[in-house]
Amino acid sequence: MSFISRGFKGRPRDKPRDARVPPGQYVVHDFPVLSAGPTPHPSLDAWTFSIEGEVDTAKRWTWAELRALPSETVTRDIHCVTKWSKLDTTWEGVSVDTLLDGVETAADYVMAFCDGGYTTNLPLEDLTGGKAWIAYAYDGKPLESQHGGPARLLVPHLYFWKSAKWVRGLRLMNEDTPGFWETYGYHMYGDPWLEQRYSGD
Amino acid sequence: MVGTALQRRLIWRTAEVVDLVDETPRVRSLVLAVPGWPGHQAGQHVDVRLTADDGYQTQRSYSIASPPSTDERLTLTIERLDDGEVSPYLAGELHAGDQVELRGPIGGYFVWAPAVGGPLLLVAGGSGLCPLMAMLRLRQAAGSTVPARLLYSSRSLDEVIYRDELNKLVAMENGLEVMLTLTRQQPPGWTGLHRRIDTDMLSAVAWPPAERPWTFICGPTPLVETAANALVNLGHEPARIKTERFGPTGG
Amino acid sequence: MAITEQELRLDGNAAAGLLRDVFVHEFTSVRGACATCGAEGEMGAQHLYMTPLSPGAVLRCATCGSMLMVVVRAGGRFRVGLQGLIWLEMQDEGAAS
């Protein structure tokens, strides 16, 4: 492009300096808020987290039960498909491995579902092996609703739309089925290192 | 009724800043010359696109504050948001002679023309006055005597945008009334309204629903929702209440 | 003489003129009906969820909050989801007035 806005710098961002930043991304220091709808404010008394679908026995936790499970604190880089990356974000939550422990399934795919109707699809193997969490704290504080609280899925090795806000459960599936943004042209897998932004990438 | 108009594909145009007017300590108007500008309706907006030297781009929508004209010029009035990404640049950094990219005019919903008629009820908060000012300026320029009332919420008298011009328009006594409510700070001796817009205020200011006014409300989301809900509860036709919310665009 | 089913079926191509008349309108003043609650109104009066960093734009019914439309700018093309709308209505510019 030829046009330059004289003196315009834009939001604070760094040129990718190291191998930690995937291609096409820039580093931000704030935490942008994106949403496809109103922010839900569910009552924690009625909140549950479910594992359902192609499983022998569905499982469900109340908020108190989820919080009583062993938690992990992890520091990871996150990469949004709209080109911002944020380095060294610290989260606390329950590993998806812990939730899937003892779940018998032949399914290969998962649909994460959320308050407000949002969904996103992922391969099951991307949620296991210490790669994904149900996160309820960010930066040492309870996760704010605008960032997905009370709890969001955290899958930092994929573009951040896969880290569904306001998550309420995982539905296991035999076939890969598109979730919300995937239906409208975003990539079924979303690897930031391969720049899998849109279907066909 | 303003109909759905056929339109051509929008193209990005390069506009030149020809004048800068400080309206209030935080609000500046940019007068832009836009070669090939096809003209616009009162209430329409433009997209402004900024490009940093590394190729990073961002865009925002701004209402056009100037009335329709044929001189290939338009005015944007921009409030500087301290933590914004774009508004401190547009309303702070730009000089006369600088160029910006924009496209438009956009929007056919939040528009008014004298042929639509009235009475006209305009409700604004802060820089939400801009598209409504285009309507008042058009009303004046067209010699329209459609009865019009503006209820404008501002934090203080110093922050009232277009204050002198509004006073002049009212002084012409051609059917325009302006009511200010100053929500944070009032000058000594202020006898006017001094609280946030609410149902009581609108029931006093608005025309009776039986007169079927066209209402345009523009400003921060809470103000817009409060005013629109109050008017509906007062019996106004929802289809005649048009709103334009400022979202969390990051300025 | 009876017209056969086959004779009634044209190529979508034949709708080119009609669709060109339809899909050229300033969209915020187009009216639509929500497929969830049935509310009718101009698109410009509905609720939009979009920020400069959003993956796409989501237009929701101002009455019930359900999705009406989704627009994604996905790598050199737009994908537009319309499943939340029963119908759209716009002025017929070609009609005699």
Is C82 an interface residue toward A (CB < 8 Å)? no
* Residue-range domain boundaries for chain A: 47-187
Question: Looking at the structure, do residues B74 and B149 belong to the same domain, yes or no?
Answer: no
pLDDT at B133 over 90: yes
* Mean pLDDT for all residues in chain A: 94
User: What would the two tokens of residue C10 be?
Assistant: 């044209």
Instruction: Examine the fold and report which residue of B55, B87, B106 is the final residue of a domain before the chain moves on.
Output: B106
pLDDT at residue B3 in the model = 47
pLDDT at residue B2 in the model = 43
Question: Looking at the structure, do residues B96 and B202 belong to the same domain, yes or no?
Answer: no
How many other CB atoms are found less than 10 A from the CB of residue C31?
17
Output b/e per residue, C12-28; b: 16+ Cβ within 10 A.
eeeeeeeeeeeebbbbb
Alpha helices in B89-174 (DSSP H): 129-141, 163-171
Distance from CA of B106 to the nearest CA of C (A): 8
Q: What percent of chain B has pLDDT over 70?
A: 95
pLDDT at B250 over 90: no
Q: Nearest-CA residue of chain B relative to A13?
A: B56
Question: Looking at the structure, do residues B77 and B135 belong to the same domain, yes or no?
Answer: no
B173-178 mean pLDDT: 96
DSSP string, B34-92: -TT-----BT-EEEEEEE-TTS-EEEEEEEB-SPP-SSSEEEEEEE--TT-SSHHIIII
Helix orientation angle between B163-171 and B129-141, rounded to the nearest 10 degrees: 30
A156 by Cβ neighbours in 10 Å (0-12 / 13-18 / 19+) ranks as buried
Residue B162 placed within a domain: yes
Give dist(CA B80, CA B127) in Å, integer.
10
pLDDT at A78 over 90: yes
pLDDT at residue A138 in the model = 98
Question: Looking at the structure, do residues B98 and B66 belong to the same domain, yes or no?
Answer: yes
Instruction: Express each pLDDT in B108-132 by its tens digit.
Output: 899 999 999 989 999 999 999 999 9
> Is A49 within 8 Å of A60 (Cβ atoms)?
yes
Distance of CA B129 to the CA centre of its chain: 4
**CB–CB contact A8 B51 (8 Å):** yes
**CB–CB contact A11 B53 (8 Å):** no
Give dist(CA B60, CA C61) in Å, integer.
23
The ipTM, to two decimals, is 0.87
Question: Looking at the structure, do residues B97 and B119 belong to the same domain, yes or no?
Answer: no
How many other CB atoms are found less than 10 A from the CB of residue B39?
12
Q: In B, which residues are within 8 Å of A6 by CB distance?
A: 98-99
**CB–CB contact C51 A34 (8 Å):** yes
Residue B43 placed within a domain: yes
User: What would the two tokens of residue C39 be?
Assistant: 């509310």
pLDDT at B178 over 50: yes
Question: Looking at the structure, do residues B119 and B100 belong to the same domain, yes or no?
Answer: no
**CB–CB contact B51 A3 (8 Å):** yes
pLDDT at residue A12 in the model = 80
Residue B3 placed within a domain: no
Q: Which residues are B22's β-sheet partners? A: B28
A141-170 mean pLDDT: 97
**CB–CB contact A181 C72 (8 Å):** yes
Residue B4 placed within a domain: no
Instruction: Express each pLDDT in A80-136 by its tens digit.
Output: 999 999 999 999 999 999 999 999 999 999 999 999 999 999 999 999 999 999 999
Q: In B, which residues are within 8 Å of C24 by CB distance?
A: 6-7
Q: Nearest-CA residue of chain B relative to A32?
A: B250
Question: Looking at the structure, do residues B151 and B229 belong to the same domain, yes or no?
Answer: yes
Total number of domains in chain B: 2
A4-26 mean pLDDT: 86
**CB–CB contact B52 A3 (8 Å):** no
Residue C51, CA distances (Å) to B81, B127, C56, C63 in order:
16, 19, 8, 22
Partner residue opposite C58 with nearest CB, options A32, A36, A197: A36
DSSP string, B217-230: EEEEHHHHHHHHHH
CATH topology of domain A47-187: Sulfite Oxidase; Chain A, domain 2 (3.90.420)
User: Which CATH number goes with the domain that contains B145?
Assistant: 3.40.50.80
pLDDT at residue A57 in the model = 93
Question: Looking at the structure, do residues B69 and B189 belong to the same domain, yes or no?
Answer: no
Confidence of residue C72 (pLDDT cuts 50, 70, 90): very high
Is A2 an interface residue toward B (CB < 8 Å)? no
User: What would the two tokens of residue A158 be?
Assistant: 């994929």
Q: In C, which residues are within 8 Å of B87 by CB distance?
A: none
* Mean pLDDT for all residues in chain C: 89
Partner residue opposite A1 with nearest CB, options B14, B51, B58: B51
Give dist(CA C87, CA C82) in Å, integer.
10
Q: Whole-prediction pTM value?
A: 0.85
Instruction: Express each pLDDT in B179-202 by its tens digit.
Output: 999 999 999 999 999 999 999 999
**CB–CB contact B5 C45 (8 Å):** no
Question: Looking at the structure, do residues B129 and B67 belong to the same domain, yes or no?
Answer: no
What order of strands is seen across the sheet that includes strand C31-34? C40-42, C31-34, C85-89
Question: Looking at the structure, do residues B144 and B162 belong to the same domain, yes or no?
Answer: yes
**CB–CB contact A185 C77 (8 Å):** yes
pLDDT at residue B7 in the model = 62
**CB–CB contact B55 A1 (8 Å):** yes
A147-173 mean pLDDT: 97
Instruction: Express each pLDDT in B1-34 by its tens digit.
Output: 344 555 667 899 999 999 999 999 999 999 999 9
Give dist(CA B7, CA C26) in Å, integer.
7
Question: Looking at the structure, do residues B101 and B167 belong to the same domain, yes or no?
Answer: no
Distance from CA of B241 to the nearest CA of C (A): 9
User: Which CATH number goes with the domain that contains B91?
Assistant: 2.40.30.10
> Is A135 within 8 Å of A91 (Cβ atoms)?
yes
Instruction: Examine the fold and report which residue of B106, B124, B139 is the final residue of a domain before the chain moves on.
Output: B106
Domain that holds residue B60: 13-106
Instruction: Examine the fold and report which residue of B90, B106, B122 is the final residue of a domain before the chain moves on.
Output: B106
> Is B18 within 8 Å of B32 (Cβ atoms)?
yes
Task: List the one residue out of B49, B73, B76 whose CA is nearest residue B64.
Answer: B76
Residue C34, CA distances (Å) to B242, C31, C39 in order:
19, 10, 5
Give dist(CA A3, CA C52) in Å, integer.
19
Give dist(CA A160, CA A170) in Å, integer.
17
DSSP string, B19-35: EEEEEETTEEEEEEE-T
Give dist(CA A189, CA A166) in Å, integer.
20
Which one of C20, C23, C28 makes the best mutation probe of the B interface by having the most chain B beta carbons within 10 Å?
A: C28
Question: Looking at the structure, do residues B130 and B197 belong to the same domain, yes or no?
Answer: yes
C94 by Cβ neighbours in 10 Å (0-12 / 13-18 / 19+) ranks as exposed
